[in-house]
């Protein structure tokens, strides 16, 4: 049912079990997958994961970038009639939104599912917990340098609907110069990581690319979560076969080890051998929260970072460097 998108009554004769038993078996299976593997395969990046992600993206021309973020829709065929107007998207069919953060390996680091299909990417963003760690002060502060300027906050690659925050870098809709055109091409190519992740996820689990026959929204959420967990398992098993994976991995392993420091906090190295400290404390007051929120939504930092990335990519991949 997960792999081929079959209804429970389509396998009853083959498996010699009733429709209800088939459905209950599926629910039992996805419950077990979530219970035993969610902590390992649907989690935030560890320090080592973060270093590897940042190194790979630096080699691709985007230092400080920790993933691509986007949404996809899953059609809900058996949505209750009283909810259909609330869940009907642009297609007119009831759908549910899935927002994920994916990296070059197609590993999905963050998944937020269940918002009605009438909501666009911005509505989902404002409800998503993707920036909770940043706002609470428990995310590792990442320092990196681009075009001679230092920045203190990682960012995601997005499409044009997302706001001009310091944590988002979009492409250029109508590029006018060679630098802008090259930047748009590179940004679009790297941002395709999340689109490829959606495509591979749906190819592996046909239940996600077909209209869902489930009536209960909570069950839909468990099915989606279980499929993402198993997708990450497959990525872990097969990532060594990906194109350029070994090349990027070897270049990462040849880097000098991070500088160790004493004290209670841990220190590591990101991109340009800049140390960062992992703060495990919670915000002590509302002012800290609001300060981080303001810094995250700073448009001036966004514009400066986008310009510096454009210059950096031109120097790294421009016509004179081919």
Does the residue 3 lie in any domain?
no
Which string of DSSP letters, residue by residue, matches 73-117?
A: EEEBTT--GGGHHHHB-TTSSBEEEEEEEE-TT--EEEEEEEEET
Per-residue pLDDT at 5:
86
Report the run of H or E that residue 229 belongs to, with start and end: helix 217-238
Per-residue pLDDT at 298:
94
What CA–CA distance (Å, rounded) separates 211 from 73? 10
Does the residue 9 lie in any domain?
no
Tell me which residue of 315, 301, 270 sits closest to 169, measured CA to CA. Answer: 301
- Yes or no: say if 317 and 178 are a contact pair by the CB < 8 Å rule: no
Per-residue pLDDT at 247:
63
Does the residue 27 lie in any domain?
no
Does the residue 232 lie in any domain?
yes
Does the residue 271 lie in any domain?
yes
Tell me which residue of 75, 310, 10, 40 sits closest to 212, measured CA to CA. Answer: 75
Does the residue 13 lie in any domain?
no
Show the tokens assigned to 219. Answer: 């069950």
What CA–CA distance (Å, rounded) separates 110 from 45? 9
Which string of DSSP letters, residue by residue, matches 118-175?
A: TS-HHHHHHH--TTHHHHHT-SPP--EEETTEEE-S-EEE--TTS---TTEE---SS-
Per-residue pLDDT at 249:
64
Show the tokens assigned to 294. Answer: 């303001």
Per-residue pLDDT at 276:
43
Per-residue pLDDT at 321:
58
Q: Is 24 helix (H, G, I), strand (E, B) or coil?
A: helix
Structural domain span for residue 164: 43-321
Does the residue 10 lie in any domain?
no
Maximum CA extent, the chain: 67
Low-confidence residues of the chain: pLDDT under 50: 257-280, 283, 322
Helices (H) and strands (E) in the chain, counts: 11, 9
Does the residue 32 lie in any domain?
no
Q: How many domains does the chain have?
A: 1
């Amino acid at each position: 049912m997960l792999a081929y998108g079959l209804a429970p009554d389509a396998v009853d004769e083959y498996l010699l079990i009733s429709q209800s038993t088939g459905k209950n078996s599926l629910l039992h299976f996805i419950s077990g997958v979530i219970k035993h593997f969610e902590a390992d395969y649907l989690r935030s990046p560890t320090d080592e994961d973060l270093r590897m992600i940042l190194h790979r993206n630096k080699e691709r021309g985007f230092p400080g970038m920790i993933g691509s973020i986007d949404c996809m829709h899953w059609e809900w065929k058996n949505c209750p009639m009283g909810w259909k107007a609330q869940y009907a998207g642009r297609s007119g069919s009831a759908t549910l939104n899935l927002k994920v953060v994916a990296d070059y390996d197609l590993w999905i680091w963050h998944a937020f599912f269940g918002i009605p299909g009438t909501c666009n990417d911005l509505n989902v963003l404002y409800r998503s917990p993707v920036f909770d760690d940043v706002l609470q002060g428990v995310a590792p502060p990442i320092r990196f340098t681009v075009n001679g300027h230092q920045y203190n906050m990682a960012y995601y690659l997005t499409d044009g609907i997302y706001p001009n925050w310091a944590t988002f870098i979009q492409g250029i809709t109508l590029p006018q110069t060679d630098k802008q055109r090259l930047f748009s091409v590179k940004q679009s190519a790297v941002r395709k990581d999340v689109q490829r992740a959606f495509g591979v996820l749906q190819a592996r689990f046909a239940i996600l690319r077909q209209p869902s026959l489930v009536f209960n929204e909570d069950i839909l959420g468990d099915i989606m979560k279980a499929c993402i967990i198993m997708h990450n398992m497959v990525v872990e098993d097969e990532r060594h076969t990906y194109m350029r994976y070994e090349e990027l991995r070897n270049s990462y392993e040849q880097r000098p080890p991070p500088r160790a420091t004493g004290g209670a906090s841990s220190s590591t190295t990101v991109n340009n051998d800049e140390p960062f400290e992992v703060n495990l404390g919670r915000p002590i007051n509302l002012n800290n929260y609001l300060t981080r929120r303001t810094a995250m939504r700073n448009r001036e930092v966004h514009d400066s970072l986008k310009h510096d990335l454009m210059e950096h990519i031109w120097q790294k991949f421009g016509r004179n460097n081919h």
